[in-house]
Structure 1
Amino acid sequence: MQLSFWDFVKNQFATPEPVVKVDLTGKTVVVLGANTGLGFEATKHFATMNPGRLILACRSQSKGQAAVEKLKAATGYATAELWIIDLADFASVKQFADKLEQDGGRLDILVENAAVGLFTYEGTKDGWDASLQVNCLSTSLVALLLLPIMVKTAKEHSTLPRIVVVSSEVHYWYTFEKGLSEDPEILKTLGSAEYCTPKKMEERYILTKLLNVLFVRALNARLAPTTPLIVDAVNPGYCYSELRRGLSGIRAVVDYLMELVLAFSTERGSRQLVWAALAHQDHPEKLRGAYISASKVEEVSDFVLSREGGKVQDRIWDEMLDILGKVDPRVTATVNQYLSPTA
């Protein structure tokens, strides 16, 4: 499938679906990037469904605490928890996973919404481009570290947990250049300062959203059909977002005008995150490895479906496991215990 600009415009004018409502009594929901934008709006929806625990995973203590108070005022949900996680720091991700593991509780829904929209290279303390580390590497690391807890939850409570990775329809608009797709270390190249020229960084966000789709498909392909876990990717649509707050010049002007004409409200976009986390309660298998947009399963890009895309997906998966396995050996243990070595 390809997505033209006019397809994109048409999607923006589609009739919005109502938010999915499910009783979450006793269940634990974690939302990454929950203090603002799509994450906060999704958290508000979850709060109205009586979750046993609702964890707002945020980078900033002050902004996160403000979000907890705002959530209480808006919904009456008074027991939301603030946990700190900085996806630009692998050590912080590991500490977050440690805390959840030591907590010993259940985990039913993980919404991986945190992301950055940068147009210039910013190096992290771990030696990666910040966009790549936050949007892809750490997002994948969180999922792999928490996967055992979610499988354990499924077995102990006879439920079917879900991991929701927030991607985007912009993934249709990126194709790997030949030299990059044949690079023996694709991620290492993408994360290097030398590769991240201003021109390359113009497409960095689009690339990371494609990488999110590839991760979900690769992970799902390696989960046995009997594994009690649903992993999917979701497109919230083009909506008002703080992701683009770093835009400047003509790019900022164009985006401002596009928002006036085309953008959804952030709340409407958040309904897609909730749909991916809760829809099809009677037939959840429909969402295994799915790409979700406009409250339905959609076909991914032609590149993802192509033979070349499949090869790139597998190579990136193998490289990612090598990288993340060195960050935390629990990644390797998770892969060995829960995933098939072949797709």
Structure 2
Amino acid sequence: MVGSRDLTPSNDSFGKIFFHNQFRAKPQWPAPKTSLLGATAIISGSNTGLGYEAATQLLRLQLSRLIMAVRSRERGEAAAARLRRLFPKASIEVWLLDMSEYDSVQAFAARVARELSRIDIVILNAGLIGLTFKAAKSTGHGELLQVNYLSTVLLAILLLPTLKAKGPPGGQPAHLTIVSAALTLAAKFAERDSIPLLPALDDPKKFDREETYNTSKLLAHMFLWNLVDYVSADDVIVNLADPAWCKGTDLARDATGGMKVGVKIFAGLTGRSPRVGASCFVDAVVNKGKESHGCFIMSWQIHPFAAYLYTPEGKVVTQRCWDETMAELEFADVRTILNSMRG
């Protein structure tokens, strides 16, 4: 199986990539008569923005059961009510999930294993862009590192055995897509030489509202680089999907003043619509098959990881990131879970 780590790294400038993503790439929509009847999907952060739009698109494909994994029950139920009016035949449920707390992540994964008899699709969409450094109260890690990386990969690992055991009928693998960003390709990753690595990413003095976000997403490339050694595409298809820069989402909801105005203007001039952006997630879980396992999907095409990962130095740091992540998540027995996926 060829994944993104087996590809030749791209030498294109980020400007060229951005222009292609925003203005040249063409959406790949599901084929006519594609049906998800009988299927169950989980989408985190699905009460708003691209998560909500992805939920809408899957429901249009006759998805039978949707689990909306959200932090606020009130906002989740309001979004669910809108979807229930549009899709009265579907079962649409709101389950609480706070990605800033490990306990919440573990409780959610345990509920999935306990209550769902079938699970076909997981889209891990919940993410943050922070304008200032904030620490997650329960862990002390910076919120971007906690939500965009640590809790996301913990949830992915915890869900893998359930996805393998309760995937689609007929021996077809379930899909797990982690939302990524093209900005990973532009990450400067100033902390790359830090030993240990993860604590350096928690330093408030080094916080940069752009670079810290880019790096938090880059770490998921490093994670997937190693994850494919444990997970077979025959069991669960795991990939990363980039929606590109989109307008009409809440990702930069904390922006104020001139920055908020600037973001809206820039998005209006260059941004994809939420419908087109969310189609990248739907493409990753509906159109793409085993060939996308271990891949970074950008503009509906399989793309290499960030070029740094292919360098000798990058491979060392990628392994360091993996080892530190496994140590950080040892409380959840992640090594045992991953080793069991090899069996």
How high is the TM-score relative to the length of structure 1? 0.90
Q: Is 1:182 matched up with 2:198?
A: no
Structure 2 residue corresponding to 1:312, chosen from 291, 309, 317: 317
Q: Is 1:162 matched up with 2:175?
A: yes
Q: For 1:13, what is the secondary structure of its paired residue? A: helix
State the alpha-carbon separation in 2 of the partners of residues 52 and 81 from structure 1.
11
Letter in 1 for 2:240: A
State the alpha-carbon separation in 2 of the partners of residues 74 and 266 from structure 1.
18
Structure 2 residue corresponding to 1:212, chosen from 204, 208, 220: 220
Q: Is 1:36 matched up with 2:39?
A: no
Once the 2 structures are TM-superposed, how far is the Cα of residue 250 of structure 1 from its aligned partner? 4.5
State the alpha-carbon separation in 2 of the partners of residues 322 and 258 from structure 1.
40
Q: For 1:162, what is the secondary structure of its paired residue? A: strand
State the alpha-carbon separation in 2 of the partners of residues 198 and 175 from structure 1.
13
Deviations 1:296-315 (A, max 9, x none): 11222211222222221111
Report the CA distance shift for 1:29/1:3 in structure 2 as closer, same or farther (over 3 A): farther
- Indicate conservation of the 8 Å contact 1:71/1:77, yes or no: no
Q: For 1:230, what is the secondary structure of its paired residue? A: strand
- Indicate conservation of the 8 Å contact 2:80/2:93, yes or no: yes
Letter in 2 for 1:16: K
Aligned counterpart, 1:23:
35
State the alpha-carbon separation in 1 of the partners of residues 168 and 49 from structure 2.
33
Q: Flag the structure with more relative contact order, 1 or 2, with Cα contacts below 8 A and sequence separation at least 6.
A: 2
Structure 2: give runs of 5+ residues left out of the alignment.
1-9
Aligned counterpart, 1:337:
340
Aligned counterpart, 1:149:
162
Aligned counterpart, 1:228:
235
- Indicate conservation of the 8 Å contact 2:53/2:278, yes or no: yes
Q: For 1:105, what is the secondary structure of its paired residue? A: coil
Report the CA distance shift for 1:15/1:175 in structure 2 as closer, same or farther (over 3 A): closer
Once the 2 structures are TM-superposed, how far is the Cα of residue 157 of structure 1 from its aligned partner? 4.5
More displaced stretch, 164-173 vs 227-236:
227-236
State the alpha-carbon separation in 2 of the partners of residues 63 and 143 from structure 1.
24
Report the CA distance shift for 1:155/1:7 in structure 2 as closer, same or farther (over 3 A): closer
State the alpha-carbon separation in 1 of the partners of residues 25 and 87 from structure 2.
26
Once the 2 structures are TM-superposed, how far is the Cα of residue 319 of structure 1 from its aligned partner? 0.8
Aligned counterpart, 2:143:
130
Aligned counterpart, 2:129:
117
- Indicate conservation of the 8 Å contact 2:230/2:339, yes or no: no
Aligned counterpart, 1:5:
15
Letter in 1 for 2:214: I
Letter in 2 for 1:140: V
More displaced stretch, 24-33 vs 72-81:
72-81
Aligned counterpart, 2:245:
238
Report the CA distance shift for 1:23/1:78 in structure 2 as closer, same or farther (over 3 A): closer
Q: What percentage of aligned pairs have identical amino acids?
A: 27
State the alpha-carbon separation in 2 of the partners of residues 307 and 80 from structure 1.
47
Q: For 1:29, what is the secondary structure of its paired residue? A: strand
Q: For 2:195, what is the secondary structure of its paired residue? A: coil
Once the 2 structures are TM-superposed, how far is the Cα of residue 126 of structure 1 from its aligned partner? 1.4
How high is the TM-score relative to the length of structure 2? 0.90
Report the CA distance shift for 1:155/1:17 in structure 2 as closer, same or farther (over 3 A): closer
State the alpha-carbon separation in 1 of the partners of residues 187 and 342 from structure 2.
28
Deviations 1:73-98 (A, max 9, x none): 23444411111100001111111011
RMSD of the TM alignment (CA)?
Answer: 2.0
Q: Is 1:55 matched up with 2:67?
A: yes
Matched residue pairs, number?
A: 329
- Indicate conservation of the 8 Å contact 2:144/2:212, yes or no: yes
Once the 2 structures are TM-superposed, how far is the Cα of residue 258 of structure 1 from its aligned partner? 1.1
Once the 2 structures are TM-superposed, how far is the Cα of residue 119 of structure 1 from its aligned partner? 2.0
- Indicate conservation of the 8 Å contact 2:168/2:174, yes or no: no
Structure 1: give runs of 5+ residues left out of the alignment.
none
Aligned counterpart, 1:301:
306
Q: Is 1:14 matched up with 2:24?
A: yes
More displaced stretch, 124-133 vs 109-118:
124-133
Q: For 1:297, what is the secondary structure of its paired residue? A: strand
- Indicate conservation of the 8 Å contact 1:35/1:67, yes or no: yes
State the alpha-carbon separation in 2 of the partners of residues 3 and 27 from structure 1.
40
Deviations 1:173-196 (A, max 9, x none): 11333xx323332112212xxx22
- Indicate conservation of the 8 Å contact 1:16/1:268, yes or no: no
